[in-house]
Amino acid sequence: MATRIFPTAQDAEAAFYEALERCDLDGMMAVWAEDEDILCVHPTGGRLTGQDQVRQSWARMFAAGPRARLQVSQQVAIGGMMLAVHSVFENFSLEGAAPGDARPAPIVATNVYLRTAAGWRMIVHHASPAPGQSPPPATREAPPKMLH
């Protein structure tokens, strides 16, 4: 598969969540830096480090195939020359759920991207359940905060 180049951290994040919703393992791993220092914390899980652990964890999660729609909301973005940090809520809606069904609690995620020779790549994904978090308001994202 040709290496994908993400010109901005936002592009990398869009690809990350597209791959997550589609359970697309190759698409997911194309977002991560080819670096043994990458770190991934799944909700209620420990810290995974390096390409092998991170790939295996997504492979397990994706094994059953796509079963939920994903809406990402309330992004706060802090962007530097070499690093960018995004905080978002991941709102999953199970396929086949009726409109009145309880939705899973949102997930709060901290995503860190690094500008590499091959464009922007993810180096940290830290996700945890955010019980009691109010549902996302109508889309109104804050503009990214640029440091340069």
Which residue ranges make up the site for its own copies (CB under 8 A)? 37, 39, 41, 43-47, 49, 74, 76, 78, 80-85, 87, 89, 108, 110, 112, 114, 123-124, 126, 128-133, 142, 145, 147-148
Tell the smallest beta-carbon distance from residue 8 to its own copies (Å): 16
| Sequence letter at residue 29 | M
Pairing of strands 83-94, 68-79: antiparallel
Nearer to its own copies, 23 or 84 (CB): 84
- Three-state DSSP at 82 gives coil
Residues facing residue 120 across a β-bridge: 115
Closer residue to its own copies (CB): 66 or 129: 129
User: Least distance in Å: CB of 25 to its own copies?
Assistant: 23
Q: Going by C-beta distance under 8 Å and a sequence separation of 6 or more, which residues neighbour residue 146?
A: 79
Token pair recorded at residue 94: 């199970």
With respect to its own copies, which residue has the nearer C-beta, 27 or 115? 115
